[in-house]
Amino acid sequence: MAVSPAGGRRQVFVCCHLRRSVEPPEAVVAALAHAFGSASDVRGVERLSGGCKDTYRVELGEETVVVAFPREPWYEESFALEPALMRLVHRETSLPVPRVLASDVFGARPYHVTEYVDAPDLRGRFAACPRATQAALLEAAGRVLAELHGGVRFESSGPLRREGGEVTVDPALTWPAFLSTLVERWLTELDESRFADLRGTFETALTPESFLSVAPDPVCLHFDYAPGNLLARGDAIVGVVDWGFAVSGHAEYDLFQFEKNFLLGEVRDPAVRDELRPHVYAGYRERGDLAPGWERRRAFYRVAYKLASMRSFHRWAGSGSQRGELVTRLRAELETDLERLDEYERGREPTGQD
């Protein structure tokens, strides 16, 4: 039986809750037979709820694996990237990335098979952890993210593509130019039923090529470094999953998004957010650096995050009254973010963090 560096059985993608045991779907059986020559030793299958993938935990004799398929056609290109990028990160860093056991991303039914990490993700759990554990988890996650940025670098910013078995950047852009293309796309996809009136606000505020004077070294950005994609035991990060949205760009964007995903996404109390925020940066700075002017760029990126969140609102916001509350919250946060950005543009130092 293979053993993971953190101990326990090698096992992936606990990015969600297990559903009841099911009979092996035909697609799972076909993928295992294609990958290993046989699917006769399947002892049990559990379906994992997920977002962009249909994902199954499969017990195979003495080991457990995860078999994943793209759920929607629009995700197939990202799905094809994922195993190649996971192998690259595994090769260039010591990040706890699940090992890719087999993949066929260009067949009639694309799939990949990965080892299963026997640990839950932090979605919903982080907020319930003791404060000391929260601080330790943030520092551990910061160290992991800094190692990714230091270990996987590219010559330009832009979307990551799979070319053969390698990962390339295509098209190759500067970071401000790439962020501009993202902003333009997000504006076209903005949730018109709830945020149409904010289009002009975003168009005025988000001009990356005029605002961002920095020319950073392009690195691999996970681009969804969030509680649901980090697996943890105690205060240790033992798995980083869901690599399909990764891009090449400015490390600070990933870092500030990590801060937002944990502190704004999981912690309601502003005082607690202020208490925990130094731990986000403490862990990262053990292995990475922040260039002068990062606070100003952070303010700019926060407005960009709001646009990205409003653009994909229908995918993550739940339903019913919860959606109305989230709309109100997003609008209030955006107003604060715009005020902070305006202060920086005027050469003033904003007060407060949130």
For 98-130, the pLDDT digits (tens) are: 999 999 999 999 999 999 999 999 999 999 999
Rounded Cα distance between 331 and 336, Å, is 9
pTM, entire model: 0.89
pLDDT in tens, 38-65: 888 898 999 987 778 999 999 998 899 9
pLDDT at residue 211, rounded to an integer: 78
Domain 18-115 has CATH 2.90.10.10: no
Label residue 235 exposed, middle or buried (CB < 10 Å: 0-12, 13-18, 19+): middle
Q: Dihedral of CA 165/64/316/251: which sign?
A: negative
Note every long-range contact of 30-38, with CB atoms under 8 Å and residues 24 or more positions apart, other chains counting.
30/109, 31/67, 31/69, 31/104, 31/109, 31/111, 31/113, 32/58, 32/60, 32/67, 32/113, 34/102, 34/104, 34/107, 34/111, 35/101, 35/102, 35/103, 35/104, 35/111, 35/113, 36/102
Distances (CA, A) of 100 to 30, 82, 84, 170, 353: 18, 10, 9, 24, 40
| Sequence ranges of the domains in the chain | 18-115, 126-345
Q: Which residue has the higher pLDDT, 95 or 39?
A: 95
Q: Supply the CATH classification number for the domain 126-345.
A: 3.90.1200.10
Phi first, then psi: what are they for 143, rounded to 5°?
A: -65, -40
- What's the token pair of residue 134? 């929260």
Query: Which among 254, 222, 275, 256 has a CA at the least distance from the CA of 340?
Result: 256
Say how far residue 72 (Cα) sits from the centre of its chain.
Answer: 18
pLDDT bin (cut points 50, 70, 90) of residue 10 is: very low
pLDDT of residue 21: 52
CB proximity list for 94: less than 8 A, separation 6 or greater:
147
Continuous H helices in 111-211: 131-151, 175-188, 192-195, 199-205, 208-211
Taking Cα atoms as reference points, which of 157, 161, 314, 165 lies closest to residue 245? 161
Residue-level pLDDT at 156: 97
CA within 13 Å, CB half, 265: 22
| Ranges of H-type helices in 93-174 | 131-151
DSSP 269: -
Give per-residue pLDDT as tens, 254-297.
999 999 999 988 998 999 999 999 999 999 999 999 988 899 89
- Per-residue pLDDT reduced to its tens digit, 130-174: 999 999 999 999 999 999 999 999 999 999 999 988 999 999 999
d(CA 203, CA 207): 7
Average pLDDT over residues 183-198: 93
Smallest CA-to-CA distance from 114 within 154, 88, 86, 133 is with 86
CA 145 to chain centre: 11
Measuring CA to CA, how many Å separate 337 from each of 14, 30, 299?
A: 33, 49, 7
From the list 320, 124, 156, 159, the residue with the least C-alpha distance to 247 is 159
Handedness of CA 198, 199, 201, 202 (dihedral sign): positive
Any idea what the Cα angle at residue 144 is, between residues 341 and 122, rounded to 5°? Answer: 80
User: Residues 101, 102, 105, CA angle at the centre, nearest 5°?
Assistant: 140
